[in-house]
Structure 1
Amino acid sequence: MIFSQKILHWYAQNKRNLPWRSTKDPYRIWLSEIMLQQTRVSQGLPYYLKFTEHFPTVNELAGASEEQVLKLWQGLGYYSRARNLHTTAKTVVNEYHGKFPNTYIELLKLKGVGDYTASAIASICFDEPEPVVDGNVYRVLSRYFGVDIPINGTKGVKYFKELAKEVMNVENIRDYNQGIMEFGAIQCAPKNPDCSVCPLNEGCVALKKNIIKELPIKINKTKIKNRYFNYLVFLDANNRTLLRQRKGKGIWQNLWEFPLLETNGKINIDELGGKHHNVVSLNEAPKIYEFNQEDIVHKLSHQHLHTKFWILKTKTKFKDGIGFNELDKFPVPVLIADFIKTFKI
């Protein structure tokens, strides 16, 4: 049995029962693929179910407000995916009359749709013989064929795409592509795969050379930046607080947060007392309390946010103040959502 046939045979026996497996609807396949980028299935599944319940078709998603989309996405991270999702839904409705393009080349023109997503939709929905190459596929191919080219370099991306094309099953591309991704997720797992029961173990170069742990190779390009966030949680005479919407191209674009004072390092309560006026101007000095003594370190892909929440009580009444029972209406970063759940007035 050749490589692709073994993948298909394994998939038929081991595939998980997932809602997007029983459809060829490109809207639902696209939705699942965008949500599962850099996200585990167990984490993404509840979001997929929520989205398909609120927006059963691309038309409903296109007609929603960005705030609705971001609120449903809250906690899934990488929020640019949600904004691109919303933009693409509008494009499909307005430029493609509500129908997704049915070829790999046309799909690539949609915002947020790269090689992998276009290949997945084209093959799963329209049977186009286009190989998918995601993290799971890189792992399977690099181990089985013993390829030590870094997967995140230009040479590696091109090499693995060509290799995936050579070994794919053209006759049943839909199941084959889903099968090799599933195989990487379950059988050829990143850590401690059970090679003794692997149907590919006889031909696996990495197993023969005992280099399973070393493959695939990835160049470490990420430099972690440390940032220091001080969130100012104001409470006015009516116990109302302030939220602000993040603008610009940085993290959490268009999400809401408490007024933020970003500093070059940790600050104490005395240092904060002289700086909060730069964020929110008050008529009198507020009473300041430290909510968390130790920094909450929120880790993102390229940066670590060392975060303190400060409670500032003021006699001033905010014209645009928001009650704490209203905060759940706003899409906020998970860091803020966790604080809101914990804080008691």
Structure 2
Amino acid sequence: MRDDDAAGQARSDTLLEWYDRHARDLPWRVPPGAARSPDPYRIWLSEVMLQQTTVAAVRAYFERFTQLWPTVADLAQADDGRVMAEWAGLGYYARARNLLKCARVVAAEHQGRFPDRQEDLLKLPGIGPYTAAAIAAIAFDRPAVVMDGNVERVMARLHDIHTPLPAAKPELKAEAAALTPAARPGDYAQAVMDLGATICTPRSPACGICPWRAPCLARARGTAAVLPRKAPKKAKPVRLGIAYVGRTPGGDWLLERRPDSGLLGGMLGWPGSPWAETTPAETPPVAARWCDVGAEARHTFTHFHLRLALRVAVIDPAQVPADGPLLLVPKHRFRPSDLPTVMRKAFDLAHGAMESP
């Protein structure tokens, strides 16, 4: 074994020893040393949920999903609307659509079993390089290189790499690959993520108790606080729209099923105008006396800020076409929590205006 290989193995062993004592207790995780093997379904589900989202936000969603749909076969048979409603609040709704597509492919074409190789996992709907590597490593103990924000930060500091992200990604991945051990690669992948989440944090890293404090070049050179460097972000544009919140005299709510493609695809929401960078024209969904609430529902998506002007009205149910995207949801079945976050914000503001004298 070469000196650099031996040093890498020693670092991996040190981190695994730390992980054995300090692994986070997560509902989708099998603790180190446990007799049972990880469930690929739970690993896949957690990884999809964790994209662009925090562990704290995901925990309750994961527990509810696995209670409702304990296996991938159960999820494959689930109603699309129910799954989208349970997903509401996690954002990035394309993930929920791909979740169902993937579950159905696994159930129909793989006998309900996830492939165990990264290259085969990449062929499934909604599974990209990171998720494929995470499933291969954590569920099947394959020596795949799992790269999330935590791992990138740890590698940048360990090797004192100052190339800004995202340009630094190949260099960081190469360093991570060099440290990935042949034995226990799944535990190792989780160990690096735990290290970044609990000790090598973005601000005020706890270098004094880090298991890699001795070999960490950024700690030795005093540069940990500024790593990883990131290229300046472009300012997000602002898009404008109008949302129409209508209710019948009997209390039923006028909603719209959004197209399957695009933001909030397949979700129920308030009818409205297109979202554009110029002031939109009034496009009421049905004829009624629409009143301006005088407030905006504001929400930030990945690539833009959205400001929705709100209109409210009492509508005649006879105005709603029997077919098409518009539908009346009976008041006893309407749950604001089923709406995507931006639509729930619009409801809160509009409902308050409706209820005020």
TM-score, normalised via structure 2 length: 0.85
Structure 2: distance between partners of 1:57 and 1:122: 18
Structure 2 residue 24 is the aligned partner of structure 1 residue 10: no
Comparing 3-12 with 80-89, greater Cα deviation is found at 3-12
Structure 2 residue 270 is the aligned partner of structure 1 residue 288: no
Give matches, 1:266-277, under 5 Å: 276=282
Structure 1: distance between partners of 2:57 and 2:223: 30
Equivalent residues of 2:98, 2:125 under 8 A apart: yes
Tell me, which stretches of 5 or more residues in structure 2 are unaligned? 1-6, 31-36, 321-326
Shift of the alpha carbon at 1:299? 1.1
Shift of the alpha carbon at 1:210? 2.0
Shift of the alpha carbon at 1:80? 0.9
Equivalent residues of 1:288, 1:313 under 8 A apart: no
Structure 2 residue 41 is the aligned partner of structure 1 residue 40: no
Q: 1:126 to 1:183 in 2, by over 3 A?
A: same
Structure 2 residue 205 is the aligned partner of structure 1 residue 193: yes
**Amino acid in structure 1 at the alignment position of 2:229:** I
Query: 1:222-255, CA deviations, whole angstroms, 9 ceiling, x for partnerless residues?
Result: 5412111221112334343311111153211111
SS in 1 for 2:46: helix
**Amino acid in structure 2 at the alignment position of 1:47:** Y
Structure 2 residue 329 is the aligned partner of structure 1 residue 322: yes
Equivalent residues of 1:295, 1:307 under 8 A apart: yes
Structure 2 residue 188 is the aligned partner of structure 1 residue 176: yes
Structure 1: distance between partners of 2:111 and 2:55: 31
Q: 1:323 to 1:215 in 2, by over 3 A?
A: same
Equivalent residues of 2:299, 2:307 under 8 A apart: yes
Structure 2: distance between partners of 1:228 and 1:341: 19
CA RMSD of aligned residues (A): 2.4
Structure 2 residue 154 is the aligned partner of structure 1 residue 119: no
**Amino acid in structure 1 at the alignment position of 2:26:** L
Structure 1: distance between partners of 2:274 and 2:198: 42
**Amino acid in structure 2 at the alignment position of 1:164:** A
Structure 2 residue 48 is the aligned partner of structure 1 residue 53: no
Structure 1: distance between partners of 2:314 and 2:46: 44
Structure 1: distance between partners of 2:79 and 2:175: 42
SS in 1 for 2:123: coil
Comparing 233-242 with 181-190, greater Cα deviation is found at 233-242
Tell me, which stretches of 5 or more residues in structure 1 are unaligned? none
Structure 2: distance between partners of 1:330 and 1:137: 34
Structure 1: distance between partners of 2:348 and 2:291: 20
TM-score, normalised via structure 1 length: 0.88
SS in 2 for 1:243: strand
Equivalent residues of 1:222, 1:302 under 8 A apart: no
Q: 1:288 to 1:245 in 2, by over 3 A?
A: same
Equivalent residues of 1:295, 1:308 under 8 A apart: yes
Q: 1:265 to 1:302 in 2, by over 3 A?
A: closer
SS in 1 for 2:28: helix
SS in 1 for 2:239: strand
SS in 2 for 1:227: strand
SS in 2 for 1:295: strand
Tell me what 1:334 maps to.
341
Structure 2: distance between partners of 1:148 and 1:38: 24
**Number of matched residues?**
332
Equivalent residues of 2:297, 2:345 under 8 A apart: no
SS in 2 for 1:111: coil
SS in 1 for 2:273: strand
Give matches, 1:239-254, under 5 Å: 239-247=251-259, 249-254=261-266
SS in 2 for 1:94: helix
Structure 2: distance between partners of 1:315 and 1:80: 33
Question: Which of residues 141, 161, 164 in structure 2 aligns to 1:147?
Answer: 161
Q: 1:158 to 1:265 in 2, by over 3 A?
A: closer
**Amino acid in structure 2 at the alignment position of 1:304:** H
Shift of the alpha carbon at 1:144? 0.8
Comparing 89-98 with 118-127, greater Cα deviation is found at 118-127
Query: 1:250-305, CA deviations, whole angstroms, 9 ceiling, x for partnerless residues?
Result: 211111111113476797xxxx9xx54x33242xx515141xx4433211111111
Structure 2: distance between partners of 1:216 and 1:321: 50
Shift of the alpha carbon at 1:113? 1.3
Shift of the alpha carbon at 1:187? 0.7
Tell me what 1:102 maps to.
116
Aligned sequence identity (%):
33
SS in 2 for 1:16: coil
SS in 1 for 2:238: strand
